[in-house]
Structure 1
């Protein structure tokens, strides 16, 4: 069994600090590229969703305007012209 001594502790600390700085360096290199890809994908999905909604709206609008039966106009009383009395 190995005993934890000062050289082992120092070596482990150096390895931990080295790994920290390597990860930090790689994050600075790759995170902007990854973020750009995520934004582009989200934009593309938003545009596709908007196109689908527009298509559905146009389909619904076209089917509702092509109805064969005429619209009924409801008369709700007659028009009364009021005159101002002094």
Structure 2
């Protein structure tokens, strides 16, 4: 008889937790999304270049010009070979 009570308690706990998790999942997801949004705003919301006012006549460069790479015409060393018939 105690075996059946144990199985019944285990099943009740399992289904109870399953039911509670289904009820609480939307609230947990909202909380996680809100925290992620706050961290995103902290990381990317503060732009130090835009925060200080620019003086008139001051020149600023926002991006680095693309670098031109010179490629060599020779890619590598080529080796000639001959087949040897045995």
Please say whether Structure 1 and Structure 2 have the same fold, judged by a TM-score greater than 0.5.
yes
Which blocks of at least 5 consecutive residues in structure 2 are unaligned?
60-86
Q: TM-score, normalised by structure 1?
A: 0.56
- Correspondence for 2:40 among 25, 43, 46: 46
Alpha-carbon RMSD: 2.5
Runs in 1 of length 4+ with deviation above 4 angstroms? 59-63
Which blocks of at least 5 consecutive residues in structure 1 are unaligned?
1-6, 68-86
Separation in structure 1 between the aligned mates of residue 35 and residue 3 of structure 2, nearest angstrom: 46
Q: Which residue of structure 1 aligns with residue 20 of structure 2? A: 26
Kindly tell me the number of residue pairs found equivalent between the two proteins.
58
Q: TM-score, normalised by structure 2?
A: 0.56
Superposed displacement of residue 59, structure 1: 5.4
Q: Which residue of structure 1 aligns with residue 4 of structure 2? A: 10
Q: Which residue of structure 1 aligns with residue 49 of structure 2? A: 57
